[in-house]
Structure formats: C-alpha cells, structure tokens
Amino acid sequence: MNLDIIAQLVQILKDAPDVGAIEIRRGLFGAWSSVRVSKAGPGTSTGQVVVTQAPASHAATPAPSPSAGAPPSAAGPQLLEIKSPMVGTFYQSPEPGAQAYVKAGSRVNVGQVVCIIEAMKIMNEIESEVGGVVKEVGVTNAQPVEFGQVLFRVDPHG
C-alpha cells in the first residue's frame, strides 16, 4: 500500500467523525486487496464501505445509462436513503457496459453492493445499509457526488 492511499484514509477519518475503524486486507505477495471503513458510535448503523482496486479503464470510459437517472423527489417518511459516504464519481455498474448493480424496482439487502464511487483513482464499492426495494436512483452514471448526497431511496416495506 503506498503512502498516498494511507494519507487518503487518514483524511477520511478526519473528515468523517462517524467513521470508527479502517481494516486493511492484504492479498497475495503482501499486496493490499481491500480496505473496510466502518461507521461507529452510539446511534449509528453498522454500514460499511469497501475500497478495492479496479481497472483504470472504468474511470476513463464510463457507460451512459438512461435507467439510472431520475431526479430525486421528496422522500416520504417510509423511504430510507442510501447516501454517499464520500466525494467522488458515481458509477452504477462494476465496469463499462455491465448491468447496473441496482435500479429502480430492484430489491436490495443489507451489505449488498449498490454502486461504486471513484475517489482519487480508487474504486469504492458502496454497500447498502438497508434492505427493501429501490424506489428512486438520485444520480446518473458518471455524475460527481458530494458527501452525504442521496444516491438511492429505498422502501423497507416493499
């Protein structure tokens, strides 16, 4: 793991007070394979963000998708939100041309990967913290997102 990545992880800890732990997993020959960032503290969920390396071509050639973008509308009290845990670029699929992880009408489970957010050339798999049916996708493929921006609205009773 190079020092730039470690510096990015430290910055995440500084910028997000709800982040409680970072777990680094090593792969073959000592190379890192993934990093798990966990939320902590009283009253917070146990959602996680897994950071993994992906081919650089994903960022260079994002695939447009008409099904991913519906403008966000006011969520009813029954809809839960999946928000971006970081600033970056939203990708709805693991690689260009691949099927989206989820779209409106898809059923999601806790821990299921719902999208990727690229931040500083690192592809971050975003896992759902809720289960239910996706009612809205708040961003389009390859769109920049902000920390805390709503990515999906999920009906837990659907």
The pLDDT of residue 15: 76
Average pLDDT, the chain: 74
The pLDDT of residue 110: 92
pLDDT at 79 over 80: yes
pTM attached to this predicted model: 0.53
Dig out the tokens for 56 from the structure: 């650089």
Q: If pLDDT is split at 50, 70 and 90, which confidence band does 67 have? A: very low
Query: Domains in the chain and their CATH numbers?
Result: 3-155 (2.40.50.100)
Distance CA 129, CA 112 (A): 8
pLDDT digits (tens, 9 = 90+) for 19-62: 666 666 655 555 555 566 666 554 444 444 444 433 333 333 34
Residue 22: count of CB within 10 angstroms of its CB: 16
Residues 6+ apart with CB under 8 A from 123: 51, 52, 53, 54, 58, 59, 91, 116, 117
pLDDT digits (tens, 9 = 90+) for 101-110: 999 999 999 9
